[in-house]
Structures are given as structure tokens and as C-alpha cells.
Structure 1
Amino acid sequence: MDTGWESLTLLFLSPIFLLCMILEFRILKKQGEKDYSLKELFCNFSLAGFHQGADVIATLLLMPFFLGLFQFRLFDITLTPFTLFAVFILQDFFYYWFHRASHHVNWLWASHIAHHSSERMNFTTAFRQSLTYPISGMWLFWTPLVLIGFPPKLVILVVALNLGFQFFVHTRVVGKLGWIEKVFNTPSHHRVHHARNPEYIDRNFAGVLIIWDKMFGTFVEERQDINIDYGIPKPINSWNPFVATFHQWKTMLTLALSPGVPFKTRIAYLFGAPKIADNAEIKRQ
């Protein structure tokens, strides 16, 4: 597995990301909205840097595992336009389930919550990623692709492209996009996903294709009569990237390792719904 694929993909996309952020900033400023702050920029870009560093280290450590797993592949896949299309579709399918699990399993949510902890929605929000994804096990969701027979290098490239696409859905300045809304994830769909309004919580888990949410009953259309409130139910009230990264881990592990807690309850704190640990933390306080 070659970590260069992801780095080269991000390097190629970086000028486009920068241009989008500048345009968004100018549009919001013209509208009289102050959606960018230096403190949040520092936090978001720090989180992105830590995330990339952790990904490089994790990929190097996991390389023997993925290459060993590839030896047990079910098929010898020849790269053709059809197989490239197939790996794109399958990876996006597995991403949907990773993303959905990240909202319903506390061990995964402990990593993913960093992305949702911002109370703003702009392109820089896409950079709010956690360095703990390798620990929570995001990589496990790509192992079926390797077992099927897609080369690990290709899998990493497709994952990077999928995540790169998702940068463009983190904005409030783009409205509805017509027929595109029926097939693809869009800013409108993703604004719903980042909302903490009761009508919107845990909806629209799509990466690139919104069809998975429509197929599995998690799709909700953005409504004009609802003013979206962004963030998580219990705000972290901090621009410290380490607070954003580790606050849920601290809550979860403190509860799970507390003296006198039954084993079944410890497991529920770690791998049950996030609200189990959150409710227990409220009672403890």
C-alpha cells in the first residue's frame, strides 16, 4: 500500500479547495455574514494536519495486513473502465455504512464527533477530521474491497477521491442543484446531515451517492421552513484541536473504566449508541 496516492490526490485538489474557500468567504462577507474566524481556521487546519499524519502512519503500519489479505482475494481483477466504476460504487456503498455506524456506535462516534463539533458550516468544516480514525477502525470498512480483489493501492486512491469530493458539500452558499439532488450528495443534503435539529439528526450519510440513503431509509430533504442549527447536542465550546479530538474518548473511557461498573454496561459505553454514554455522563455530573 502506497501512502503517496492519498497525498498526491490532496496535493492536486488543494488549489481548488483554496479557491472555493476564498470565493465562499467573499460571498458570505458580501452577504454580511461572519462565518469564518481565525480561531476556527486554526482548529480546522490543525485537525486536518493531525488526521493526515495519523493516516500516513496507520497506512504504513497496516501495509503488511492489507497485502497479506490481498493474497486471499476472491477474484483476480483486471483494471478496466467497468471495474473502476465497480470499485467506485462499492467503496461509496461501504462508506455509507461506515458513516452510518459512526453515528450509532460510540467507539466510532468518538472519532467522528470532531467533524460535527463545529457550529458553522463552511468549506473549512470539511477539514475537521480526527487523528483517531485508525484507532476506531475506519480502515476495517475497506477490507471487503481488498478481499474481493481490488488492489490496495486502488482502494486507497478511491477512498481519497471519495473524501475529496465531500469537501464540496460543506457549504451554505450553494442552493438546490436540480436533478443532481436525486443521485448525488449535495450541499443541501449535507447541511441536513450536520444539523442538530430533531428533524434532521442522523440523516443523509451519503459520501458521493445519495441513493444509499434513499434505499435504506435515512434520507431527509432539506426544508425551507427549518432554520438549521449546526453542531452537536452538547457543544465543546473550545477551539483547541485536542479538545475537539479527544473529548468524547475521555467521556467514553472514563465511564467504561469506572470502578464497579458491570461488564455489560462497560461494553454498552464503548460500543452501544452514543446517547448511552452521554446520558450516563449527565447523571454523573
Structure 2
Amino acid sequence: MQYVVTHRFYWVFFGLILVEFILVQRSHRYRYSWKESLASLGVAIGHGVTGALFKPILLAPLMWVWNQRLFTLPLNGVWDFLLLFIGIEFFYYWYHRASHEVRWFWATHAVHHSAKHLNLSAAYRLGWTGLLSGYILFFLPLIWLGVHPLALLTGLSLNLIYQFWIHTELVPKLGVLEWFLNTPSHHRVHHAANSEYIDRNYGGVLIIFDRWFGTFTSEKPDCPAFYGLTHPLRSYNPVTIAFYEWRRLFQDLVTARSWRNRCRVILGRPT
């Protein structure tokens, strides 16, 4: 997804990554892979470049829908911002869930799940092909209902910034916060490739829609998570990482023997 994240936040992120690395080294409980973290940095740079190149293409349909809106959310009071926040969380949940359950969307999102170690550097391992996959379609209803495109993109940016800190194994469960917030514990479950955990906990800031729609699973002390794709990616090349699942998808399209099977390749669950 294309978000607006300021350079100031980048410096904060890099500082926190360094702090996490020092704590990991001291704890001796977790492994830290600099090769993987540097690969994630390369992926993040590619994400930023593609985002800048394709942003004008993205804004055109957003503004067209805005001009057809039914209402206008004024954003001049607390309740307006709360409504915007809940709306973004709701549609983000469905976007994120579709990114795991529909292979076309997974081809972009798989980039984020390709790291074999969960640490803060994995947070910015984001796909380059969000515009191609059509992620923005999930958020068009918000614009049609009166949310200005810039307000939507800003809200999504803040959602991404929040999610940065939950990509870590160092933070334990957080008591009562686990009931309504997306926490590091919940996000470890989300990133896990274990059969017990896979395709769970899709929330951005909140976990309430997962509880509501039956996709919530809590982290179990007797079931430690392991990470990465179910078809392991053995490369630190950012370009290979960015297009790994697309290559697998198109290979299956080529070998499919009917249009029905091709549709299943594109719209079915990831394999």
C-alpha cells in the first residue's frame, strides 16, 4: 500500500531498530539476521520509489469517487475523527483478510510475510505492486460516503505507523490491552506460518473485528511461532522478494488448462 510517512518517522524507526538489535543481542533468546534486515531495507526503498511513481495514477480514481460522494464528513469534531478511525479499521480488516485469502492480493502482500524473523525491520518490508493488485478498491466506499482522499491516505499512514512497533518478539502480552488493541502478541500470531496460527488476526490498530468475525487467535505459550512463507523464499535480493509470489502465480496460470482453472489461480486461496 502507498502511504505518506515523513522522513522524521524514518529516523525514529531506524533508532528503534537499533535499540531492538541491542536488546536481542543481550537477551540471547532470539536470532537477528542483518542480511534479512538489509534485504527488508532494499524492499522498503523499492516500495517508496514505486509509490512515488504511481501516486498520480492512484489519486485520479480517488478524486473521481470523491466527486460522486453521497455526503461529506467535515472532520471538525472528535466524533468525526472517531468515525473515520473506525471506518478505516473496518475496511482495513477486509482488505487485509482478502490479502491472505485471495491469491491475486496475496501476491503483493506475501512480500511482507517473507521474512523468517519477526523484528522491527520486517515492518517496512512492503510490496511494490499494491496499485496493480487493486488494494485501493477496498477503501473507495469510505470516499463515496464522504471521507476526503487525503484524509483517507493520512489515516492509512497513521495505521501503518502504529503497526511498526508490533513487529517484535521482545514485547510480552499486555494484559487488558490484548482485548481490543492489535499488540505484538497478536501480530506474532498473524505473521506465524504455523498451521495453528496461519491467516489470523487481521486488524490494524484494533483487534475487535477479528473477535467479531471469528478470525482471532491468541498466542499460546506451548506453541511458539515460526515465520516466513509456507513456500520458503531463500533469497536476500529485494527484486526477487518483491516478485516471488507473482512469478509463482503466473507459472500456475501458464500451466492451467482451462479458463475456470485460471480464475481459480487468480481468485482462489494462496497455495
* TM-score normalised over the length of structure 2: 0.95
Q: Which residue of 1 aligns with 2:226?
A: 229
Q: Which residue of 2 aligns with 1:268?
A: 264
Deviation at 1:118, TM superposition (A): 0.9
Deviation at 1:12, TM superposition (A): 3.3
- Counterparts of 1:83 and 1:58 in 2: how far apart (Å)? 30
Q: Which residue of 2 aligns with 1:256?
A: 253
- Counterparts of 1:63 and 1:26 in 2: how far apart (Å)? 41
**Per-residue deviation, residues 99-145 of structure 1 (Å, max 9, x unmatched):** 10011100001111111111101000101111011111111111111
Q: Which residue of 2 aligns with 1:110?
A: 107
**In structure 2, which of residues 217, 227, 232 is the aligned counterpart of residue 220 of structure 1?**
217
Q: Which moved more, 1:74-83 or 1:205-214?
A: 74-83
The secondary structure found in structure 1 opposite 2:11 is helix
The secondary structure found in structure 2 opposite 1:245 is helix
**In structure 1, which of residues 161, 165, 171 is the aligned counterpart of residue 162 of structure 2?**
165
Q: Which moved more, 1:85-94 or 1:29-38?
A: 29-38
Query: Which amino acid in 2 is paired with 1:79?
Result: L
Whether contact under 8 Å (1:119, 1:230) holds in the other structure is: yes
The answer to whether 1:179 aligns with 2:183 is no
- Counterparts of 1:67 and 1:209 in 2: how far apart (Å)? 28
**In structure 2, which of residues 74, 77, 81 is the aligned counterpart of residue 78 of structure 1?**
74
The answer to whether 1:64 aligns with 2:60 is yes
- Counterparts of 1:168 and 1:34 in 2: how far apart (Å)? 17
Query: Which amino acid in 2 is paired with 1:120?
Result: H
Q: Aligned-pair RMSD on alpha carbons? A: 1.5
The answer to whether 1:192 aligns with 2:189 is yes
Count of residues paired in the alignment? 269
Query: Which amino acid in 2 is paired with 1:236?
Result: L
**In structure 2, which of residues 132, 136, 144 is the aligned counterpart of residue 147 of structure 1?**
144
- Counterparts of 2:228 and 2:111 in 1: how far apart (Å)? 10
Q: Which residue of 2 aligns with 1:135?
A: 132
Q: Which residue of 1 aligns with 2:93?
A: 96
**Per-residue deviation, residues 136-194 of structure 1 (Å, max 9, x unmatched):** 11111111111011111111100111011111110000001111111100000000011
Q: Which moved more, 1:225-234 or 1:102-111?
A: 225-234
Structure 1 unaligned spans of 5+: 276-285
Deviation at 1:94, TM superposition (A): 0.6
Query: Which amino acid in 1 is paired with 2:69?
Result: R
Whether contact under 8 Å (2:93, 2:209) holds in the other structure is: yes
The secondary structure found in structure 2 opposite 1:169 is coil
- Counterparts of 2:89 and 2:6 in 1: how far apart (Å)? 18
Whether contact under 8 Å (1:10, 1:164) holds in the other structure is: no
Q: How many percent of aligned residue pairs carry the same amino acid?
A: 37
Query: Which amino acid in 1 is paired with 2:261?
Result: T
The answer to whether 1:29 aligns with 2:30 is no
**In structure 2, which of residues 13, 18, 29 is the aligned counterpart of residue 17 of structure 1?**
13
Q: Which runs of 4+ in 1 moved over 3 A?
A: none
Whether contact under 8 Å (1:54, 1:134) holds in the other structure is: no
- Counterparts of 2:72 and 2:109 in 1: how far apart (Å)? 34
The secondary structure found in structure 2 opposite 1:257 is helix
Whether contact under 8 Å (2:33, 2:117) holds in the other structure is: no
- Counterparts of 1:166 and 1:117 in 2: how far apart (Å)? 17
Deviation at 1:33, TM superposition (A): 4.8
- Counterparts of 2:209 and 2:215 in 1: how far apart (Å)? 8
